[in-house]
Chain A
C-alpha cells in the first residue's frame, strides 16, 4: 500500500469561505471558531458525531441561523446580512420537508413561482428535473404517496431546479435502508459530477463521507479536527480521535526521538528503533511519548516462515470475528496489555485461526502513522 504523496494541490477558486465562525445557543457554544474554504465544484463533507456542530454550520451557510462571530462568504460575497431566501444556496433537508399539500410537480416548481416563468417553461423545467432524478411520470403523484427514496429525489429536484451555486445536504441518506442508501450515494455523486455544482454534505457516517467526497472536514466539539481528501483523513489522521472515528485503528505506545535527514526516528518496545518518512507524522509533534497508529488491514497474518515483513511479532489470538469476506483477529501483544486487531481477507485455502492459536503478524514501516 503506497502512502499518498504529501498534499500539493493547487486550491480551486473558493465558493464558500468561512472565517472565524462562532455560534452559541443560549449558553452553549456549539461552533467554536471554524475557518474553512470550499472550492468551486467540490463535493465537500462535514463529518462528525452528533452534536459536533456540523448541522449548525450548514444551517449558517443556508442562512437559517446567523453566526455570533465571523464571516460567511459565498462566491466572494459576504452573506452575513443576506436572508436565506436571497442566498444562492439550496438545501435538501434531513426530513426532506416535502410540502404535504402539494403534489410532486408543484413541490418541484415551488421556487420557480418567484421567477415569473410561463406555464410551459415551468412545466418543461420541472419535467427535465424529474427526468434527471429518475422520477419522470410522477408529476401528479401526491406527496403522501411517495416512498422515502422518492421523497428524497423530490427534495433534490426541488433544490436543483433553482440552479444553486451551492447545494446543502443535511444527512439526506440517514433515513434510507442500506441498499437504497448505497444506490443514492452513487446517484448523488453522478449528479454532482454532471452538474458541477458545489455540494456540501453533512453526515455522521464515515463510510459515506469517504465514498462520496472530494474533501472531508472532520468535526469534534464545534471545532474542525482535520480537513483533507478521504485518503489523507483515513491514512494520515492527525489525532487518535480522528483515527478512531474514521474506521478502526490500532494504537501502540512509542517514543519520538527526533527528526533526521532520513526521516523521523521512533522507538518502541514492540518493534525497536526505526525511521519513518516525514509524511507519516501528519501534525508536527515534540520529541517524547507518542502514539503509533496502524490500520487493521495494514497488518497481516504471516502464514509461512518465509513471509517477510518490516516488523514481525509472535502473538496469541484472543478473539476471532468472521465476517464472510474478512476475518478480524484480536491478538494480545506480549510484554504489554495492548490488544491489536488484524484483518485478513478470506481467500481460497487460507486458514482461519481459532482463539488461543499462536500466530505471527507483520506490518510494514510505511503503514504506520505517528499521532498525538
Chain B
C-alpha cells in the first residue's frame, strides 16, 4: 500500500539533500587533492595532507585538550543527568517544573551569550582561564541533552521492577546495581556519546573560555588564517567527519537498544491468549 510521492516533492527532496550535503562531500575531495589551493579543477590524488597532519605538534596538543575536555564534560554531565533524571522520573517535589526548566534553559540560549556571561563571571571571581573553565562551560550546555536522554530511560522503566527487586530481598544499592543500571545502561552510553560529540566540536564557548590551551575547533579556526594550511584543515575535517559518523551510529544503536529494553518489555505487556501449552 505504499503510495508514490509526487514528482515535485521528489525534486524538492533531492535539491534539499544536495544543498545540505554537497559541502560535506567537498571536504573529502579536497582533503585528497594534490594542490594547496582549494579550487577546481582537481590536481590529482594525494595523501600528503594527512601526513602533514602528523607533523603538526600543536594540533596534537589541541586534540589532546579537546579529548580531555570532551571526556570530562560528558562524564560529568551524564552524572548530573542521572541524578536529575532519577529525581524527575520518580519523585514529586516543590518547584520541580521551574528547576527542570532552568536545567534545560542552556538548550535555548544563544551560546555566545552563555560564553560571554561565563567569561565575565569567571574573570570577576578571579579565575584564570584553563581547560577546566571550558569543561565547566561544556557541562552547562551538555547537561540538558543528558537529562532529556536519561529522563526517557528512567521514565520508561516500570516502577514495579524496582519494587520487585526490593521485595525479593535486595537492598536499595543492590537494586540500583542489578536492575536499574543494566536497564538504563544504553541511555547512559548514548548520553556519554552525545556529550562527547557536542563537546568535541563546540566552538563558541570554547573560544571564550579557553586559555592558552586551545581546543581543536579553536585551533582549526586559528589555522584558517594561513591559506597554505587549508588542505591540512580539510584532511583534519575529514578525519573528524568519519569519527562523528562512527559516534553517531553508535549513539543511534544504543538509543534503540535502550528503547527496546526499557520501553518494550519492561512495561506491562499483555500477550493475551498466546500461551504455548
Contacts and interface: CB of A to CB of B under 8 A. Distances in A.
A95 B270 CA distance: 9
Nearest to A153: B275
Given A100-B266, A101-B183, A175-B268, A110 B160 contact: no
B265 interface: yes
Interface string B6-34: 00000000000000000000000000000
A162 B169 contact: yes
B43 interface: no
Contact of A148 (B163, B166, B269): B269
Contacts of A84: 163, 166-167
A328 interface: no
A190 to B, nearest CB: 16
B268 A100 contact: no
B158 interface: yes
Contact-residue bracket for chain B: 20 to 34
A146 B166 CA distance: 23
Most buried by B among A89, A100, A175, A179: A100
Interface string A125-162: 00000000000000000011011111100000011001
Given A95-B160, A99-B179, A62 B262 contact: no
A91 B167 contact: yes
Interface string B87-105: 0000000000000000000
A250 interface: no
Contacts, number: 100
A343 to B, nearest CB: 29
Contacts of B266: 100
B256 interface: no
Given A85-B166, A148-B275, A175-B270, A95 B171 contact: no
Contacts of B270: 148, 175
A113 B165 CA distance: 11
A143 B265 contact: yes
B272 A148 contact: yes
Contacts of B183: 100-101
B271 A85 contact: no
A275 B160 CA distance: 54
Contact of A101 (B169, B261, B268): B261
B164 A85 contact: no
B122 to A, nearest CB: 43
B21 to A, nearest CB: 38
Most buried by A among B161, B164, B179: B164
Interface string B233-277: 000000000000000000000000000011011111111111111
Contacts of A101: 182-183, 261
Interface string A72-87: 0000000000011110
B168 interface: yes
A110 B168 contact: yes
Nearest to B182: A101
Interface in B66-91: none
25 contacts: A64-B167, A83-B166, A84-B167, A85-B167, A90-B168, A91-B167, A93-B160, A95-B268, A97-B163, A99-B179, A100-B161, A100-B266, A110-B168, A114-B169, A114-B174, A144-B264, A146-B271, A147-B271, A148-B269, A148-B272, A149-B275, A149-B277, A151-B269, A159-B167, A180-B275
Given A99-B165, A148-B275, A179-B273, 19 more contacts: A62-B163, A84-B166, A84-B167, A85-B166, A85-B167, A91-B164, A93-B160, A93-B163, A95-B160, A95-B267, A97-B163, A99-B179, A100-B266, A101-B183, A101-B261, A110-B170, A144-B264, A147-B271, A147-B274
Interface of B: 158, 160-161, 163-171, 174, 178-179, 182-183, 261-262, 264-277
